[in-house]
Structure 1
Amino acid sequence: MLIGASTWLWTSPLTTAAAEDLLPRIAHLGFAAVELPLEDTALVDAKRVRALAGDHNLEVSVCGAFGPGRDLTNADAKVRQNTQDYIAACLDFAVEVGAPMFCGPLYAEVGKRRQLPEAERRAEWQLAVAGIRTACEAAATRGLRIAIEPLNRFETDLVHTAADAVRMARDVAHPAAGVMIDTFHMTIEEDNLEQAVLTAGPYLLHVQVSENQRGIPGTGLTDWAALARGLRAVDYKGLVVIESFTPDNRDLAAAVCIWNRRAPDQDTFAREGLRFLEQHFTPASP
């Protein structure tokens, strides 16, 4: 397992200029990987990012931002096609920067949550499955995989747990389909972190981490020992990436409900989080 940090910890949206500042800083802090959230692929020069990552020995992961207008469950076919176009652009970017997959809550717009009749819920599930299957086909032609992310009940009404994500991946029924987990959402939705990892099992492609209050790993209620046991049990060898958000970008902070500062500055957040995670997820761990 290699430990990484998302650029969302410092900035939004990601731009080439931000990458030129952050990738050297992330490497200097001691991380082995960087996660690139792509709100707008046109803002980031993939070739420049790949060069920066190579210069600083950083592995790269790419995740999506499924805000308004990006929704594979939308009744409007134009919205669904717009979402596929965005996914395709992200997949091309992932190839350019050398990332092995594209991850995120691809199935629906974040924040979409409603009480629906069961028939409508099944219909939306099937739209998501069909859309992700198309995304997996596009990923496979590029040598990539797709990691489906469960979100908590306040951010989606469709995929909440590792079991939900595995069920969706199985319904997609494509070799490129996998899942990811995020401890923030897990501490809201899962009964047991170790069991959730075991449930994800061979489908598990990616791990994001922060505390239950989106703070520095190790400062909250998360059962890190259980998570580590689960990851060792499934022989997980991917990235463990800190994903939290800067309170200094008011639009981003409002979107993800970051109302309180969790560290004196974001470098301190990253540095202390890395130190804690190294104790649990590096080869030196018991």
Structure 2
Amino acid sequence: MKSCVTIALVPSIKTGPWIYWDHLEAGMAKAAGLGFDGVELFTASADAIDPDHLKRLSQQHTLSIGAVGTGAGKVIHGLTLTDPDPAVRAQAIAFIQDMISFGAQVGAPAIIGSMQGNVVAGVEREQAINWLVEGLNTLGDYAERKGVPLIYEPLNRYETNLINRLDDGVALLKNLSTRNVKLLADLFHMNIEEASIPDSIRSAGAAIGHVHFADSNRRPIGGGHTAMEGIAEAMRDIGYTGYISAEAFPWPDPDAAAEQTINAYRQYFG
């Protein structure tokens, strides 16, 4: 397993759950100084960072790029894969394809979280799920051609009414024609939705392709009541070898949150 910390480069979302903010170079330097293996990026668009510059920084700091987020497509542009308007769905797919292409240049998968959208008023749930399936099939195949997996994230009920639990995510993946989509197990969302986080991890097994490392209140691990011992054991039981990435609030400040995260990672996975 590999340690990872988030860096957000979108000033308009300052309340979001990311450890480092605004300055890519400074964030990467600090992450490297603490001994993280990689960083996960949240950018406004696929052209917000020059990939060659990112490669140089990655090599300079001996950091991999664990993943790239796509949420700006919804936060900034209002795009989702389940919008009733086919033109909006097409724009959402195009935005995510651009993010997949950007991430693939540094070996990083793209994450679909908030851009999955919701079942909105006047739309049957089955229809919304069909739109989601169509989008994931298109994007999973596109990511495969680019040489990276696609990561899909079940979110808690307060953020989506589509897929909330890992087992529902596994069922969704089985209905896809593409086999290039993996699940993101976010410990914060799972704390709300799962009866047992370790049991859910064991049940999902190899379907898990990324993990978000945050406590029950979305502070860094150690700032809430999540029982990490059983979760870490479950991750080892399924043979997980991917990133354990801190998508958490920068509490009490980014530097302290990053240090708390790497210490917790070493305690449970080191």
Normalised to the residue count of structure 2, the TM-score between the two structures is 0.89
> Are positions 1:274 and 2:262 aligned together?
yes
> Are positions 1:108 and 2:116 aligned together?
yes
Structure 1 residues 243 and 10, CA, compared in 2 at 3 Å: closer, same or farther?
A: farther
Runs of 4+ in 1 over 3 A off after TM superposition: 8-14
> Are positions 1:40 and 2:48 aligned together?
no
The secondary structure found in structure 1 opposite 2:183 is: strand
CA distance in 1, matches of 2:151, 2:144: 13
> Are positions 1:95 and 2:104 aligned together?
yes
Aligned residues: 260
CA distance in 1, matches of 2:9, 2:198: 26
What stretches of structure 2 of length at least 5 have no aligned partner?
none
Q: Give the counterpart of 1:28 among 13, 30, 33.
A: 33
> Are positions 1:210 and 2:233 aligned together?
no
Partner of 2:235: 231
Q: Give the counterpart of 1:86 among 95, 106, 110.
A: 95
Alpha carbons 2:199, 2:234 under 8 Å: kept: yes
1:1-286 equivalences in 2 (<5 Å): 1-8=1-8, 18-60=23-65, 61-65=67-71, 66-67=74-75, 68-99=77-108, 101-105=109-113, 108-109=116-117, 112=118, 120-246=124-250, 262-263=251-252, 265-282=253-270
Shift of 1:113: 6.3
CA distance in 2, matches of 1:278, 1:170: 34
Q: Which amino acid aligns with 1:281?
A: F
CA distance in 2, matches of 1:169, 1:107: 17
Identity, % of aligned positions: 27
CA distance in 2, matches of 1:210, 1:34: 15
Alpha carbons 1:41, 1:93 under 8 Å: kept: yes
Alpha carbons 1:211, 1:219 under 8 Å: kept: yes
Shift of 1:223: 1.6
CA distance in 1, matches of 2:261, 2:35: 11
The secondary structure found in structure 2 opposite 1:221 is: coil
CA distance in 1, matches of 2:259, 2:158: 29
CA distance in 2, matches of 1:270, 1:20: 15
The secondary structure found in structure 1 opposite 2:78 is: coil
Partner of 1:251: none
Normalised to the residue count of structure 1, the TM-score between the two structures is 0.84
Query: What's the CA shift string for 1:234-257, capped at 9, x where partnerless?
Result: 1000010001245xxxxxxxxxxx
The secondary structure found in structure 2 opposite 1:34 is: strand
CA distance in 1, matches of 2:228, 2:11: 27
Note the aligned Cα RMSD (angstroms): 2.3
What stretches of structure 1 of length at least 5 have no aligned partner?
247-261
Structure 1 residues 173 and 113, CA, compared in 2 at 3 Å: closer, same or farther?
A: closer
Alpha carbons 1:9, 1:245 under 8 Å: kept: no
Alpha carbons 1:113, 1:154 under 8 Å: kept: no
My pick for the range that moved more, 59-68 or 20-29, is: 59-68
